[in-house]
Amino acid sequence: METTAPTVEIEQRGEIGILTLQRPRALNALDLEMVEALAAALDRWEQDDSIRAVVLRGAGDRGFCAGGDVRGLYDTLIGDHPEQVEAFFRAEYALNARIAEYRHPIVAFADGITMGGGIGLAGHASHRLVTERSMLAMPETRIGFTPDVGGSWLLGRAAGHIGEYLALTGNTVGPADAIEAGLADRHVPRERLEAVLSELAAGADVDGAIQAVATEPAPGTLTREREWIDVAFSQPAVAEIVSALQGRLEDAARETAAHLESLPPTALAVTLEAVRRARKLPNLRAALAQEYGLVLWFGTTQPDLVEGIRAQLVDKDRSPRWNPAPGAELPADLLDQAFSFPPPTPLWS
């Protein structure tokens, strides 16, 4: 049995349901229609005992999912449609929580580019597979935003202070580092993903099917860089983190300091606090609720988000004019403003 939503292919093959994101030219970026199609399929399969597992994957050769449809978000923001912004994030976050809490195992093929909203899908699955081409990131600070879709929850649980490092810098990691950071579970060569799919469709045990083809990925960089990352990113505030990085001998540390100095100070300050608060929250739903307030605060009160998207994706001049500018002093009550922002509609009823 197979049905097709415009941008999500929904298929049952043997004993598994397969959800394939079908916007390859847009790197399978998520819009509201796709989120609703994915949620409807999960609704249909949850109580179906003929389904033993669900597979999430992306069409095309470039990646699983590059994130949310940020250009669509830009159009909504400049068009002054806050209700549409709220509707998208409520639906997306409900889907993130649903994936994490789903009755059946969900196997995510985070092959290729998997960023932002793509991590919101793959990162909360019960079985998170990366391949030799996987590139994972939460790059939101680079557009004047903050990691969401449960990204603060995942990064808050990364070993040491890897979470703060990845959240603030927005840096991309490969398969070994994604596993080290807790964003993925196993490495499977891309050419073996179809074998996993076939075994699962035939009724194989999920763990056994993955174990049969899993391999060790090529070494990453986080393990050897952990010492300076943990020292610098344990500092209490962004300015102290930058200062600690500048005092290191490692070229990568000093390059990281220069990178942070180019990013919007509002996004950096809020993101650092968000990851550290998420580390103390009881569950993913609590982290999503925190993120929901933050994303609406950014979207309705802060100019950096629109400016960041403009510079990166609209005019593509790569010259954002952050407000406040890097190096400027932030309001003393900035974090209170951000974390006490009241969403017009609660995330969880």
Catalytically active residues are 68, 117, 140, 148
Task: Identify the DSSP state of 219.
Answer: P
CA angle 161, 123, 349 (to 5 degrees): 105
d(C-alpha 230, C-alpha 224), whole Å: 11
Q: Kindly give, in sequence order, each residue whose CB lies less than 8 Å from that of residue 345, ignoring residues fewer than 6 positions away.
A: 86, 90
CA angle 116, 286, 72 (to 5 degrees): 30
End-to-end CA distance of the chain: 34
The two three-digit tokens of residue 13, written as one number: 């093959």
Q: How many residues does the chain have?
A: 349
Residue 340 CB-density burial (10 A; 0-12 exposed, 13-18 middle, 19+ buried): exposed
Q: Mind giving me the DSSP string for 237-259?
A: SHHHHHHHHHT-S-HHHHHHHHH
CB 190 within 8 A of CB 131: yes
Greatest CA separation for the chain: 61
* Pairing label, strands 8-13, 16-21: antiparallel
